[in-house]
Chains A and B, each alone.
Chain A
Amino acid sequence: MRMWRMFLFDIRFQWKHGFYLIYSLICIVYFGILYFVHEDYVEKSLILLTFSDPSALGLLFAGGIILLERGQGVMGSLFATPVRIREYVLAKCLSLSCLSVLAAYAIHLPIGGWPVSPVHFTIGVALTSSFFTLIGIWTAVQCRSINSFILLTQLYVLPFVLPLAGYLDWMHSPFMALLPTHGTLILLDGAIRVVGWQETIYAILSLVLWIGGFGWLTNRAVLGTVRKLDGGKSHE
Chain B
Amino acid sequence: MNRYMVLLKHDLRNMARDPLLLFMLIGPLLLILAVRTGSAYGTDLLQSAGSFDLLRYTDLITVFMMLLIPILIGTMTGLFILDERDEQLIGLYAVTPIRKQGYFLYRLALPTLLGLAMSTLFLLAGGVAQRQFENMGVLGMLALEAPIFALFLATAAANKVEGLALSKIVSLTLIGAIVAYFAPEPWQLLAVALPTYWPSKLYLEGASVGGDLAWTTAALVTGFLYHLLILYVLLRRFLQRID
Contacts and interface: CB of A to CB of B under 8 A. Distances in A.
Q: Taking the complex as a whole, does A directly touch B, i.e. does some CB pair lie under 8 Å apart?
A: yes
Interface of A: 17-19, 22, 25-26, 29, 32-33, 36, 60-61, 63-65, 67-68, 71-72, 144-148, 150-151, 168-170
8 contacts: A17-B161, A17-B165, A18-B162, A67-B161, A68-B159, A146-B80, A147-B79, A147-B83
Given A22-B169, A32-B175, A68-B86, A148 B160 contact: no
B164 A146 contact: yes
B20 interface: yes
Nearest to A67: B160
Interface in B140-188: 159-169, 172, 175, 178, 182-183
Interface of B: 17-20, 22-23, 45, 49, 51, 76, 79-80, 82-83, 86-87, 159-169, 172, 175, 178, 182-183
A59 to B, nearest CB: 10
Nearest to A57: B168
Most A Cβ at <10 Å: residue of B20, B83, B166 = B83
Nearest to A60: B164
A19 B19 contact: no
Contact of B18 (A33, A72, A147): A147
Contacts of A61: 161, 164-165
Contact of B165 (A19, A32, A148, A151): A19
Contact of A147 (B23, B162, B183): B23
Contacts of B19: 147-148, 151
Contacts of B168: 22, 26, 60
B18 A144 contact: yes
B49 A170 contact: yes
Contacts of B20: 147
B18 A145 contact: yes
Contacts of B45: 170
B172 A150 contact: no
B82 A146 contact: yes
B172 A151 contact: no
B46 to A, nearest CB: 8
A150 B82 CA distance: 14
